[in-house]
Amino acid sequence: MIKEFDRLNDAETELMLKAPILVCILIAGADGTIDRKEIKEAITIAQKSKKASGILKPYFSELSQDFEDKLKITIQGYPYESTQRTPLLVEELASLNAIWPKINRDFAVSFYESLKEIAEKIASSSGGLLGMKKVGTEEARFLELPMIKKPQ
């Protein structure tokens, strides 16, 4: 288990483990469609994150296990329509703000930054002219993850 999560209850731990997946779904589905390129990019990010170093290494090591299955199961747990799905994801991700004070500040800041990097990679993985890594308007609204405050 991840030592930074020692002071969290089960629901908070689950949210921390699910947060990158929620970010993937939010950004990928912001335009109304979660396409194959975005799913593939999310899986690639998880595979690369296994090799992460530093304070997030144990976290990403655990997250990357069965990531594709976790992602697909999580997607199925939300409404298909983005107008119904997005508010649920935003509300759930906003719950991270209450968790920041309970975990190591350096871990929280690194985690927050990694979520923003994931959002950027997912947003630029699909769309644009001939698929040229352009971020769509809908994705741009959530790119900075405005529902999540930077840990203090």
pLDDT digits (tens, 9 = 90+) for 46-98: 888 877 778 999 998 888 889 999 999 999 999 999 999 999 999 999 999 99
Residue 103 CA to residue 131 CA, distance in Å, equals 39
Residue 1 scores a pLDDT above 80: no
pLDDT tens, residue by residue, 95-139: 999 999 999 999 999 999 999 999 998 988 865 544 445 666 677
Instruction: Look at 41-45, 78-82, 145-149 and tell me which has the smallest mean pLDDT.
Output: 41-45
Residue 70 CA to residue 67 CA, distance in Å, equals 5
Q: pTM of the entire structure?
A: 0.90
Higher-confidence residue: 136 or 145? 145
- For position 136, what pLDDT does the model report? 65
